[in-house]
Amino acid sequence: MKNQSLLLRLGGVFRFVGIPTDKGGHFVAGAIIALGFGAFFGPCIGLAAAVAAGACKEWRDSTGRGHVEFLDFLATAAGGAVAFGGMALWA
């Protein structure tokens, strides 16, 4: 537990509803990316950045540096989508 990243720790809150910590970390990362880019460039760019980040992460994993999982990509995109929804409603 000492060496867990902040994203995995934040993602751990989803454990209580049956979502694995790893997927929760991807969700949180997607939301943070979407909010960060969305704040400066608009909600659509934020969503696109989160989806692109998820795809790039899984591509990186496919080069032997990790384990490729489509659900990781979906969790990252879902975090971006929730952030996009919040930003779209806010605007």
Q: Please state the separation of Cα 19 from the chain's center in Å.
A: 14
- pLDDT surpasses 60 at 58: yes
- pLDDT surpasses 70 at 4: no
14 or 62, greater pLDDT = 62
Residue 19's pLDDT band (cuts 50, 70, 90): confident
pTM (two decimals): 0.88
